[in-house]
Structures are given as C-alpha cells and as structure tokens.
Amino acid sequence: MIEASRVVDIPEFRNRIGVFRDRREAGEILGKLVKSLAGQDPLVLAVPAGGVPVAVEVAMALDCALDVAVVSKITPPDNTEVGYGAVAFDGSVKLNRDIIPRLGLGEDQVKEGMEATRRKVARRMVLFRGERPMPGMAGRTVILVDDGLASGYTMLTALEAVRNAAAGAAVVAVPTGHQEAVGKMTRAGALVCCANLRAGWRFAVADAYREWYDVSEEEACVLLEKFAAGRVEKGG
C-alpha cells in the first residue's frame, strides 16, 4: 500500500516501459520532479554504481552537494542477481528473512554472505571516497538516488543508514520503481520521487530505459570526479 501523499510521480509515465533514453535523461527528468521535495541545502547521495549518472543530473538540477551512499545487496555465491538483504556504509544490515529459506541458505551461509558484502562495501568506500569522512547529515534533507527500485531492500538499508546519521528529512528519488517497493519506502517514512511508477508481477529496472548497460565502478568514479571539478555539462 502506497501513501499517495508521500509520492510524486509523472502520471503519463505510469506502467510504461522505455520511457527514458538513458540514465542521464532519466536524471534530468527526475531533477525537475524532485525540486518540490528538496529543502534548503539538500545533500544528494548516489547509490553506486548505477545511481551515479542519475544523481549527477539531480544534483546539477538542484545546484547542491553530491556524494555517495555505498550500499550493496547480499547475494548467494551462485546467483548475484538475487539479493536476500543489504549492507550500508555505516554497517547497517537488513535481511529479507522471508526469502532466505526459499534460497536454501543456512545461517552459516548467510553470515558468510554478510561478511563478504561488508568487505565489498568497505572496498567501495575507499574507491569512491578515499579517506574522506561522510558529509554531515544532521538536520539536513538527504536525497538518496538510484537508477530504479525493484525489491527495495537495498534502498531501505541506505535509508536506515541516513536515519542513523540524524538526517532531517529523507527523500528517495528514482526514475523507475515497482509500486510495492515504493510502498516500502513510504511506510518507512520517506518521501518518494519516482517518475515511472509501475505495477505487475514482472518488473525489471532496465525496462524503463531504451539504452541500458551496467555502469562500471570506473565510469562512476570518473563522473564523480568530473562533478567535483565542475566539468559535467548539462544537456550533453
């Protein structure tokens, strides 16, 4: 169930596929949409790697600071597409206890998966942020950006980490999302900006894009460096 008062979407985009050319166009559209939810001096946090191209456009539209919220889903060793939880940059862990039995995982395997994911998050923190401390979030509007919401567990974990940092308001901004995942965000108290809201039993984030590929860590790093140096051009 979605709390409609906590969601901003584009009605003509509902339940459509192929509405965005690529992540950059999606970010431009999302940037215009999220302005109504952004407070003064907001902080945009990209969920890498796929969320970075989107977040760059959102941060430029809002003329605000951009950083990353490193969070990674926990997956079985033989299937990296299926997640049963996630680990965030502050060590927050959220497990989907409903799906773990269906994956046939024991407690030892779950613990191994959590530890492997913690190591991945730690490595990515150094890769994307070096030794810099996370920016201050206390009392600030924080906008979490990814390229889409499928199950929503990764974003819920990022949301928990932001709340742990005493953010004043939390906004989840995604170009596309399944209505059940969006509902999870609103029930967790977030405002949600989702341009392309979709329902149905079949959902893939990639279906919202006409051009889709997996963003590499290297590409994400270059984009973040260009943004920091003021070398990202609008509309190109």
Burial 33-50 (b: 16+ CB within 10 A, else e): bbeebbeeebbbbbbbbb
* Cα–Cα dist 197/16, whole Å: 8
Q: In what order do the strands lie in the sheet with 169-178?
A: 7-8, 191-198, 169-178, 141-145, 43-46, 65-68
pLDDT recorded at residue 199: 94
Sign of CA dihedral 219, 223, 228, 229: positive
Does the predicted model carry a pTM greater than 0.85?
yes
pLDDT at 235: 52
- Delimit the domains of the chain by residue range: 4-70+137-228
Give the per-residue pLDDT at 236: 43
Contacts of 187 (CB under 8 A, 6+ apart): 1, 3
CA–CA distance, 91 with 5 (Å, rounded to integer)? 31
Joined together, the tokens standing for residue 138 give 């206390």
Instruction: Give the amino acid at 229.
Output: A
Q: Which residue has the tokens 């995982």?
A: 105
Distance separating the N- and C-terminal Cα atoms of the chain: 38
Which residue intervals of 150-211 are DSSP H helices? Answer: 153-164, 179-187
| pLDDT tens across the length of the chain (236 residues) | 566 688 999 999 999 999 999 999 999 999 999 987 777 789 999 999 999 999 999 999 999 999 999 999 998 877 777 788 999 999 989 888 888 888 888 888 899 999 999 999 999 999 999 889 999 999 999 999 999 999 888 999 999 999 999 998 999 999 999 999 999 999 999 999 999 999 998 899 999 999 999 999 999 999 999 999 887 666 54
DSSP H or E stretch at residue 27: helix 23-34
pLDDT in tens, 28-48: 999 999 987 777 789 999 999
- pLDDT tens-digit profile of 107-132? 888 999 999 999 999 999 999 998 89
The CATH class of 4-70+137-228 is alpha beta
CA distance 67 to 224: 8
Q: Tell me what pLDDT residue 5 has.
A: 80
- Report the distance separating Cα 150 and Cα 51, nearest Å: 13
